[in-house]
Amino acid sequence: MRNTKQKELIFKIISSSYNHLTAQEVYTEARKEIDNISLGTVYRILNNLADNHQIVRIKTKSGVDHYDRKEQEKHNHFICDNCGKIFDVYNAEYLYDDKELSDFQINNVDITFSGICNECIKGRN
């Protein structure tokens, strides 16, 4: 996919957001600058950017994907099973068996934690 005004805008929206946006939220933001952009175009561009590791796709149990910027500092995510909020997790360590994966080239490790967030535990949601 070539660089287009639409692709540059969608990449900018994701890269400048500290929220984990859905395609619908990206579409709403994109329409502020390009009023005739279609939701289908937004989905195609988001999928292309995620497939090419330019942004991060976060899959949720609800089936609605969210998108996150690529940061210099690698991080994982925690998704609340109760309210659905997504939180960045920076200091989680994980180990894997090098021998088990010795025949593979690892390009990415993605760990998503799930459970109940602090706000839900305290009954705020």
Write out the two tokens for 65.
Answer: 């994907």
Q: Is the pLDDT of residue 2 over 70?
A: no
pTM attached to this predicted model: 0.82
**Comparison of pLDDT for 47 and 101, the residue scoring more:** 47
pLDDT at residue 93, as a whole number = 74
Contact status, residue 22 vs residue 39, Cβ threshold 8 Å? no
Contact status, residue 58 vs residue 65, Cβ threshold 8 Å? yes
**Comparison of pLDDT for 111 and 116, the residue scoring more:** 116
Q: Which of 20, 16, 35, 19 is nearest to 6 (CA)?
A: 35
Which of 37-41, 61-65, 71-75, 114-118 has the least mean pLDDT? 71-75
> What percent of the chain stands above pLDDT 70?
96
CATH class of the region 5-69: mainly alpha
Map out the domains of the chain as residue ranges. Answer: 5-69, 76-121
**Comparison of pLDDT for 102 and 30, the residue scoring more:** 30
**Fold topology of 76-121:** Dna Ligase; domain 1 (3.30.1490)
Q: Which of 27, 40, 30 is nearest to 5 (CA)?
A: 30
As a three-state string, the secondary structure of the chain is CCCCHHHHHHHHHHHCCCCCEEHHHHHHHHCCCCCCCCHHHHHHHHHHHHHCCCEEEECCCCCCCEEEECCCCCCEEEEECCCCCEEEECCCCCCCCCCCCCCCCCCCCCCEEEECCHHHHCCCC
> Using one digit for the tens of pLDDT, what is the confidence trace for 47-88?
999 999 899 999 998 899 999 998 767 788 999 999 999 999
What is the residue whose two structure tokens read 């089936």?
63
pLDDT at residue 20, as a whole number = 95
